[in-house]
Amino acid sequence: MYNTIIVPTDFSSEESTIASLKKATTLSDKPHIILLHVLEHVPHDLSKTRETLNTWLANSGVEAEIEIRDGRSSYHEIIEFAKEKNADLILINSHKPGLGDYLLGSTASKVVRHSPCSVLVVR
């Protein structure tokens, strides 16, 4: 059903990222899964970021590709990446909503509204 599945992570939780990666494997027989992290114009140690993603991927037991992007906003980069990869699904974690989410809109809600493909929001 889904050939290319993008799983964005913001590093907020290894546990929820691993759960999302495992969930992605259940949605198709042989999906191409891409673990995506977006850096938002803040200084990052790219080697540490890649190391963390590799560790999480190894801990998940899921075969997936890793992609790191630098961009103006996470949701915009997720949307553009989905278009570039002709993704069938974006599987994104949602945090418990707070007042800031209602006033500004969370990354997950913006991805849902603007995505070129289906979006599965995991709680």
Taking only the tens place, the pLDDT of each residue in 20-72 is: 999 999 999 899 999 999 987 666 778 888 999 999 999 999 999 999 998 87
The predicted pLDDT at position 104 comes to 37
List the CATH number of the domain containing 69.
Answer: 3.40.50.620
Query: Rounded to two decimals, what is the model's pTM?
Result: 0.86
Range of the domain at 23: 4-122
Split into its structural domains, the chain has a count of 1
The predicted pLDDT at position 43 comes to 66
Residue type, 75: Y
Q: Which helix (H) or strand (E) holds 119?
A: strand 118-122
Summarize the confidence of residues 92-112 as an average pLDDT. Answer: 69
pLDDT band at 103 (very low <50, low <70, confident <90, very high): very low
Summarize the confidence of residues 95-106 as an average pLDDT. Answer: 55
3-state secondary structure 58-91: HHHCCCCEEEEEECCCHHHHHHHHHHHCCCCEEE
| CA 55 vs CA 74, 110, 117: distances in Å | 22, 28, 28
